[in-house]
């Protein structure tokens, strides 16, 4: 299946933009390609922008969560940005656990969050 | 908002047999929720619950096939949307257990039924082993 995965490099950060209607195959293809790209380019940070998603059901949420986990294992800080308020409310009420993820309101604040995580990580490590 | 009976669209039926149908189900539910005058949050809840139930059919029903019927309701002057998901799959042996958080027949992921029930105003399941499953969800406008 051909899936266009919109990925942009901003300095050492990989920005992944999810949008439109995603079926399950598309979500897992994106997960695979993002993980490969993080490993290939050794990105310092990864932002997953979901502001273009009107719906995040439990499957999509689980894959996003798993993707963040894999990216972290590869040594890149990761954050999910731009969850729409109606989507956030639905996820919480449905009971999808996403509280363990780093999140930010938008890409700009996400970039600031990654810088902070990077700095703190450098200090601790 | 009062809905003129003449403006209420007819029921929409979608066959669920592939991942593309999952997206079709979301689109139909979104359109019907819009039509009933739902706010964005309730629209999102309905579409999300529908997406979960459609995926259950793809994953668990025999041959991954089933269908959903989406209808506009008018109850006590209040518009609403009802979606009836049905399949001829193996059925659910213990419906009460399936509506309990953490329950799963396999895979460890659960069916998402308790979550769907929290998102909806009504959720009813009729099922028996070997005779398929029907899940009816209803959401009313506020």
Cβ proximity of B141 and B38 under 8 Å: yes
Q: Could you tell me the pTM of the whole model?
A: 0.90
Map out the domains of chain B as residue ranges: 10-140
Q: Is the pLDDT of residue A75 over 70?
A: yes
**Option in B20, B30, B52 nearest A57 (CB):** B52
Is A50 a domain residue? Answer: yes
**What pLDDT is recorded for position A125?**
45
Q: Confirm or reject contact between B34 and chain A (CB < 8 A).
A: no
Average pLDDT over residues A61-72: 94
Contacts of B45 (CB under 8 A, 6+ apart): A89, A90, A93, B119, B120, B139
Residues A19, A52: Cα–Cα separation, whole Å: 4
pLDDT digits (tens, 9 = 90+) for B16-66: 999 999 999 999 999 999 999 999 999 999 999 999 999 999 988 888 899
Q: Confirm or reject contact between A25 and chain B (CB < 8 A).
A: yes
Average pLDDT over residues A96-105: 90
Average pLDDT over residues A90-103: 90
Q: Confirm or reject contact between B82 and chain A (CB < 8 A).
A: no
ipTM of predicted assembly, 2 dp: 0.90
Is A36 a domain residue? Answer: yes
Cβ proximity of B49 and B119 under 8 Å: yes
State chain A's mean pLDDT as an integer: 92
pLDDT digits (tens, 9 = 90+) for B46-59: 999 999 999 999 98
Number of domains forming the structure of chain A:
1
Strands annotated E in chain A: 7-10, 13-19, 45-52, 77-81, 103-104
pLDDT digits (tens, 9 = 90+) for A29-66: 999 999 999 999 999 999 999 999 999 999 999 999 99
Domain CATH for A112: 3.30.750.24
Q: Is the pLDDT of residue A22 over 50?
A: yes
Is A93 a domain residue? Answer: yes
For residues A121 and A61, the model is more confident at A61
Choosing among 3.90.1150.10, 3.30.565.10, 2.60.40.1180, 3.40.50.10490, the CATH entry for B10-140 is 3.30.565.10
Angle, helix B40-60 to helix B19-36, in steps of 10 degrees: 150
Best residue in A29, A58, A63 for a mutation probing chain B (most B CBs within 10 Å) = A58
pLDDT digits (tens, 9 = 90+) for B86-108: 999 888 888 888 888 765 544 44
**Option in A55, A58, A87 nearest B26 (CB):** A55
Q: Is the pLDDT of residue B14 over 60?
A: yes
């Amino acid at each position: 299946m051909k899936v266009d995965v919109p990925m942009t490099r901003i300095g050492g950060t990989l920005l992944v933009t999810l949008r439109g209607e995603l079926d399950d195959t598309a979500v897992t293809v994106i997960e695979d390609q993002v993980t490969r790209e993080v490993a290939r380019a050794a990105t310092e940070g990864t932002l997953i922008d979901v502001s273009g998603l009107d719906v995040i059901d439990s499957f999509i949420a689980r894959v996003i969560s798993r993707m963040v986990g894999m990216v972290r294992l590869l040594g890149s800080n990761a954050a999910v940005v731009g969850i729409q308020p109606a989507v956030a409310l639905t996820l919480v009420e449905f009971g999808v656990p996403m509280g363990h993820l780093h999140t930010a309101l938008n890409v700009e604040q996400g970039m600031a969050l990654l810088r902070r995580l990077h700095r703190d990580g450098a200090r601790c490590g | 908002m009062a809905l003129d009976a003449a403006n209420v669209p007819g029921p929409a039926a979608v066959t669920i047999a592939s991942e593309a149908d999952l997206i079709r189900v979301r689109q139909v539910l979104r359109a019907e929720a819009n039509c009933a005058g739902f706010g964005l949050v309730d629209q999102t809840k309905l579409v999300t619950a529908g997406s979960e139930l459609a995926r259950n059919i793809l994953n668990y029903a025999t041959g991954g096939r089933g269908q959903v019927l989406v209808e506009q309701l008018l109850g006590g002057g209040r518009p609403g949307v009802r979606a009836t998901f049905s399949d001829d799959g193996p059925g659910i042996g213990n419906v009460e257990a399936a509506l309990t958080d953490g329950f799963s027949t396999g895979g460890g992921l659960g069916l998402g039924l308790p979550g769907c029930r929290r998102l909806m105003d009504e959720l009813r399941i009729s099922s028996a082993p070997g005779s398929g499953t029907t899940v009816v969800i209803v959401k009313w406008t506020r």
